[in-house]
Structure 1
């Protein structure tokens, strides 16, 4: 009987950075008395444990409670979260106002999904986003994930322009569905799923001339860009790059799609990162932190005229839809999140605390031989590490820092397509005290490079990488 490893252990949420039980495996489903199938796990001693029992044990034994910036574990120690679910936990874990909004909706029992009309909370959320969005963007389409938002933008661009091709940036990341992968400039993410959709071309991030060379063919439906590349290594767009690309798109009739899934909603010290240089895209994409991490939701924001050009006829009006898009619970969470951001001044706080975070990172890393560069904006930063002499590559040096920080009670992680870059991405509710604690952990971990402790933590990082690979491919 084929056996596969299970990444369902008490520490799996830390992405395997501690040793986990890689011997646990699962077998074929068995029938429960009620007739429904149940998967059983076989533990290291050969005992059979149902998945539901595994889930119950994990919920009881691991993060006993998670609130704001901290996860309180059963052992009594806290973990300071400077990863924030890759930006999804924008207001910290379990923000009380967002939870209250969701609970109120559930108690009121409004219609959850009205697929033939606008659900009232979806209409209100769309109104608020249109008021915030730059450049007269006044129509919202809601879905459940950033990947879906990218798919929607691609379909909109092809229908509205009647053009086949897309231009994206090397090292970009736009999602995991087939269309989103097709415009993702990461070979590591793309290669296993070839052949992907045709018509996507990739140019160096920051090279407006390369974009124009593609646009001159006048067959490009859209240019898709991130104002700051996240998984590609926390690389902000060079000054003047986005305004120039916007001008070129207008000149050659292509749409400019800005993927602000990671940079939007205050993360970079502006409500939207594109506002830094007054860029007005044709399509703006949001997800992750839109609901404060409480419910899955994404938003495609565009101009009504553009949407009607694509879908404004009887034979095309229903060619793009999302079953769970615009549901009452997710929209209530998103409305509450926007209200907390406004009421608590979190956009301004991100700019203010972002400056303080930059200073503390700079002080902790100054002159260190492993630190190549620190870059970012607001509350979105990357620490770019240089692989040391002696054989440890970038894959391990990034995890070495992650493991060392975690041992000091701070959760971080590397970028998916730049594993030598450690991302620093706290919730918008971060405090000076939390930043001080993060900076101290960073300084102490980097100091281990000059001690014998360096090799043991590096070995732990190597085990973590091997463990994840074994679970993925074993």
Structure 2
């Protein structure tokens, strides 16, 4: 019989997703989690190398965070207050800004990454009195209507067009293209990630973000840095911009700020920019959200910030990330269908596709590329799942297998994943065995579905 959770999702939540999970047998019902481990309803154990797309930097259900939230729930706190000041949002604002660089010192709180990005967009329009935005090919800033206007994926944009007018796309890392748009349009902000996560784990050229901010200032625009997925240690630095010689005009945080427990996000800017946008009694309430800054979320975020510092998770991300990157490069060197292994800290991508070796790679590279994009990344993720490792391809680049564990991961867990990835990809050095196994699995799944009808 089908599991009741699957039936309920198929009926009431996302029928198409349930169907997709069943095509190759990917579907699992996960029931509990602790640190880097997940368990399903069959009590099978999995090593989590996805971490909620970067939301679970502390590991699942971190005991110190859970203990703090349990104490909080007994405190009779005022959760929502919109007619006065509460200590929780003030304390979180202070805790965030203490960890950032001047002049970032005013915090706009929200619940999701998309909300915080839109807070940055509104702030930029209000402060500059301009309307246009620039974003990058391959970028991902959320799926709300405003953030979709800066979505790098045509597949995800198209059903909702027309979107916001005046949003201009440029290649990631291309300063000349950015300046052409800044010179031509009345740009309020350039919204950019420090690394394209969903776009295939792609880093920009050295100095790109610093130079981009200089161009923005030259032409009267702001730089909004979207660190929703990279903030709080993911790249082996507390924040990705640090150590690069600049401070963004607006910094956006979410995902990991939650501790993997309570949704919370923030857009942080300077007093000067905030004053231009919302200063004075006529403008103080032009941006607000009912749930933003609620006491539970702020408590979770403050404890998360403290745990990241106290447990040295940034340094662990840097060290374990080096082990992951170097281990994969060593084990997969010369693989005819591995184009590149790249990343920073504990965000690593294995790009699959034709290389210069192999007959088919040379004769029909476009075919090999299409199979890699449509099939190989998902098949590799499925094979890893069946060996007890959870990961996924990048959402905009299915030919890039993304590895993104909690920052609490240990060396032996890194080695387990390196070994498994090398072993599984070693089974597929050409298209024939890959297509053979995929076709056989699809057939098996169809027979299984027929048996339950």
- State the TM-score, normalized to the length of structure 1: 0.84
Mark the runs of 5 or more structure 1 residues left unpaired by the alignment.
22-57, 467-474
The aligned residue for residue 5 of structure 2 is none
| Counterpart Cα distance in 1 of 2:317 and 2:10 | 41
Provide, for residues 412-431 of structure 1, a one-character-per-residue CA deviation record: whole Å limited to 9, x for no partner.
Answer: 10111111111110001010
- Please tell me whether residue 82 in structure 1 is matched to residue 49 in structure 2: yes
Q: How does 1:212-231 map to 2 (within 5 A)?
A: 212-217=179-184, 219-231=186-198
- Please tell me whether residue 404 in structure 1 is matched to residue 383 in structure 2: yes
Q: CA deviation at 1:120?
A: 1.1
| Pick aligned residue for 2:258 from 291, 308, 311 | 291
| Counterpart Cα distance in 2 of 1:181 and 1:5 | 26
| Pick aligned residue for 2:119 from 129, 142, 152 | 152
The aligned residue for residue 196 of structure 1 is 163
Report the secondary structure of 1:206's partner residue: coil
| Counterpart Cα distance in 2 of 1:464 and 1:325 | 48
- Please tell me whether residue 19 in structure 1 is matched to residue 6 in structure 2: no
Q: CA deviation at 1:18?
A: 5.0
Provide, for residues 21-66 of structure 1, a one-character-per-residue CA deviation record: whole Å limited to 9, x for no partner.
Answer: 9xxxxxxxxxxxxxxxxxxxxxxxxxxxxxxxxxxxx9xxx43431
Q: CA deviation at 1:209?
A: 1.0
Q: CA deviation at 1:193?
A: 0.3
Provide, for residues 217-241 of structure 1, a one-character-per-residue CA deviation record: whole Å limited to 9, x for no partner.
Answer: 3611001110001111111121111
Q: CA deviation at 1:460?
A: 6.9
- Please tell me whether residue 418 in structure 1 is matched to residue 397 in structure 2: yes
RMSD between aligned residues: 2.5
Conserved? CA contact 2:77–2:295, under 8 Å = yes
| Counterpart Cα distance in 2 of 1:149 and 1:137 | 15
| Pick aligned residue for 2:339 from 350, 366, 372 | 372
Q: CA deviation at 1:313?
A: 2.5
Q: CA deviation at 1:448?
A: 1.3
The aligned residue for residue 291 of structure 2 is 324
- Please tell me whether residue 394 in structure 1 is matched to residue 361 in structure 2: no
Q: Label 1:156 to 1:463 Cα distance change in 2 as closer, same or farther (>3 A).
A: farther
- Please tell me whether residue 359 in structure 1 is matched to residue 326 in structure 2: yes
Provide, for residues 165-190 of structure 1, a one-character-per-residue CA deviation record: whole Å limited to 9, x for no partner.
Answer: 11111111110001011122221111
How many residues of Structure 1 are paired with residues of Structure 2 in the alignment?
423
Provide, for residues 61-103 of structure 1, a one-character-per-residue CA deviation record: whole Å limited to 9, x for no partner.
Answer: x434310111123433211100001001111111111111211
Mark the runs of 5 or more structure 2 residues left unpaired by the alignment.
1-8, 355-360, 447-453
- Please tell me whether residue 163 in structure 1 is matched to residue 130 in structure 2: yes
- Please tell me whether residue 447 in structure 1 is matched to residue 426 in structure 2: yes
Conserved? CA contact 2:258–2:300, under 8 Å = yes
The aligned residue for residue 3 of structure 2 is none
Q: Label 1:370 to 1:156 Cα distance change in 2 as closer, same or farther (>3 A).
A: same
- Please tell me whether residue 458 in structure 1 is matched to residue 434 in structure 2: no
Report the secondary structure of 1:264's partner residue: coil
Q: How does 1:39-438 map to 2 (within 5 A)?
A: 62-217=29-184, 219-386=186-353, 392-438=371-417
Conserved? CA contact 1:143–1:325, under 8 Å = yes
Report the secondary structure of 2:428's partner residue: helix
